[in-house]
């Protein structure tokens, strides 16, 4: 099981953390990856300048609600196969 940690610190929250969490949960379910990935909310990851911080493994990505699909396809679904 891999955690996908989405920052819900105040800065990221304003940029759409919850939309991203909802989108990622939906995509994970649609793709049958519920047993592989779990989306978790986390506090400030210390990189508030970009879009919403999302930590996957040791990597920190910046994701927007509009780019959540792209992030999923590239970094989650892509690496699960």
Nearer to ligand FES (CB atom), residue 7 or residue 76: 7
Q: Which is nearer to ligand FES, 31 or 42 (CB)?
A: 42
Nearer to ligand FES, 33 or 48 (CB): 48
Residues numbered 11-50 forming contacts with ligand FES, rule: CB under 6 A: 11-12, 44-48
Collect all residues with Cβ–Cβ distance below 8 Å to 81 and sequence separation of at least 6: none
Strands (E), 15-75: 37-42, 52-56, 59-63
Interface residue list for ligand FES (CB under 6 A): 7, 9-12, 44-48, 53
């Amino acid at each position: 099981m891999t955690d996908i940690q989405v920052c819900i610190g105040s800065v990221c929250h304003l940029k759409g953390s919850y939309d991203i969490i909802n989108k990622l949960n939906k995509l994970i379910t649609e793709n049958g990856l519920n047993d592989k990935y779990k989306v978790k909310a986390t506090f400030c990851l210390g990189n508030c300048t970009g879009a919403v911080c999302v930590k996957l493994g040791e990597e920190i990505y910046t994701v927007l609600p509009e780019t959540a699909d792209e992030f999923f396809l590239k970094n989650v679904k892509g690496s699960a196969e």
